[in-house]
């Protein structure tokens, strides 16, 4: 079994270390030690994307994520080429729970209106990425949680930064989107025709 100690390593290092080990050695079984729940979710999801069964156990040092090659190797389906089908692939990255500077109450109202109107970008809206304070939009009691869940149901990929959720103590309150890491966010940016930052 391949062992990787990714404790005390910032996102996306645990996933990158796991990726490098799989690409270099193709081990049948890998155990990755991480020190936070967001990293354990990210490594588990990465294992599954590469055809590994993933298991997580709590250990004294944090979490041990074990990947065991499944009976069939499944690779992630390739992303559609940008512009395939005529639509663009637009990624919207939201970094805060309010829009603009100045009055905070107005900023929150504007963000609620913005997120509730994002559906109008269909079919071009491809990814919605929530980082920093923006992760608060995908948790319980968020005024726009329903709108984000609706976008997900309609096929928009919603990526929610795991490091950010962990920082704000909101990992257990996330109600929409996939807990993600910076490697996934960078990959989404590369695949997008256009990135809009809010």
Residue 187, pLDDT > 60, answer yes
Check residue 78 and give its pLDDT.
45
What are the pLDDT digits (tens) for 51-86? 999 999 999 889 999 999 985 544 444 444 444 455
Confidence of residue 50 (pLDDT cuts 50, 70, 90): confident
Confidence of residue 196 (pLDDT cuts 50, 70, 90): very high
Cα Rg for the chain, rounded, in angstroms?
18
Indicate if 110 and 170 belong to the same structural domain: yes
Taking the chain, what is the end-to-end CA distance rounded to the nearest angstrom? 44
DSSP of 62-106: EEEEEEEE-SS--PPPPPPPTTGGG---EEEEE-SSS-SSS-HHH
Indicate if 127 and 173 belong to the same structural domain: yes
Where is the domain boundary, 21, 42, 69? Answer: 69
Residue 116: phi, psi to the nearest 5?
-65, -15
More confident residue, 127 or 77: 127
Check residue 193 and give its pLDDT.
94
What are the pLDDT digits (tens) for 5-43? 999 988 888 988 999 999 999 999 999 999 988 889 889
d(CA 75, CA 58): 28
Which residues lie across from 159 on neighbouring strands?
Answer: 129, 178
For 7, the 3-state DSSP assignment is coil
Give me 119's structure tokens.
Answer: 């559906």
Helix-helix angle 37-49:13-25, to 10 degrees? 30
Indicate if 112 and 178 belong to the same structural domain: yes
Give me 160's structure tokens.
Answer: 């929610």
Q: Is 76 a domain residue?
A: no
Indicate if 102 and 63 belong to the same structural domain: no
d(CA 50, CA 72): 10
Percent of the chain with pLDDT over 90: 72
Where is the domain boundary, 69, 104, 125? Answer: 69
Helix/strand/coil percent split, the chain, to 5: 40, 25, 35
CATH of the domain at 124: 3.40.1260.10
Indicate if 117 and 36 belong to the same structural domain: no
Number of domains observed in the structure of the chain: 2
Our CA dihedral for 30, 35, 41, 44, rounded to 10 degrees, sits at: 0
Residue 161, pLDDT > 70, answer yes
Question: Are β-strands 2-5 and 29-34 bridged in parallel, bridged antiparallel, or unpaired?
Answer: parallel
Residue 70 has a CB neighbour count (10 Å cut-off) of 14
Indicate if 49 and 93 belong to the same structural domain: no
Indicate if 99 and 186 belong to the same structural domain: yes
Structural domain span for residue 51: 2-69
Mean pLDDT along residues 108-133: 95
Residue 129, pLDDT > 70, answer yes
Count Cβ atoms within 10 A of the Cβ of residue 81 and give its class: 0-12 exposed, 13-18 middle, 19 or more buried.
Answer: exposed
Mean pLDDT along residues 175-186: 92
Residue 87, pLDDT > 90, answer no
Give me 85's structure tokens.
Answer: 């089908």
Mean predicted lDDT score pLDDT of the chain: 89
Mean pLDDT along residues 118-141: 95
Indicate if 114 and 177 belong to the same structural domain: yes
Check residue 194 and give its pLDDT.
95
């Amino acid at each position: 079994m391949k062992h990787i100690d990714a404790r005390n390593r910032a996102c996306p290092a645990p996933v990158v270390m796991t990726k490098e080990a799989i690409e270099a050695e193709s081990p049948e079984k890998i155990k990755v030690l991480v020190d936070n729940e967001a990293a354990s979710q990210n490594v588990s999801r990465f294992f599954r994307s590469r055809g590994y069964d993933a298991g997580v156990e709590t250990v004294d040092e944090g979490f041990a994520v074990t990947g065991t090659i499944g009976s069939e190797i499944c690779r992630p389906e390739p992303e559609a080429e940008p512009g395939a089908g005529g639509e663009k692939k637009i990624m919207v990255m939201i970094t805060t729970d309010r829009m603009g500077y100045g009055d905070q109450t107005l900023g929150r109202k504007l963000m609620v209106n913005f997120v509730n109107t994002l559906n109008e970008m269909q079919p071009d809206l491809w990814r919605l990425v929530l980082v920093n304070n923006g992760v608060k939009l995908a948790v319980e009691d968020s005024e726009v949680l329903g709108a984000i869940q609706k976008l997900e149901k309609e096929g928009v990929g919603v990526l929610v930064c795991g490091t950010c959720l962990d920082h704000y103590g909101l990992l257990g309150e996330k109600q929409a989107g996939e807990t993600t890491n910076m490697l996934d966010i960078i990959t989404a940016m590369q695949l997008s025709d256009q990135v809009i930052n809010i």
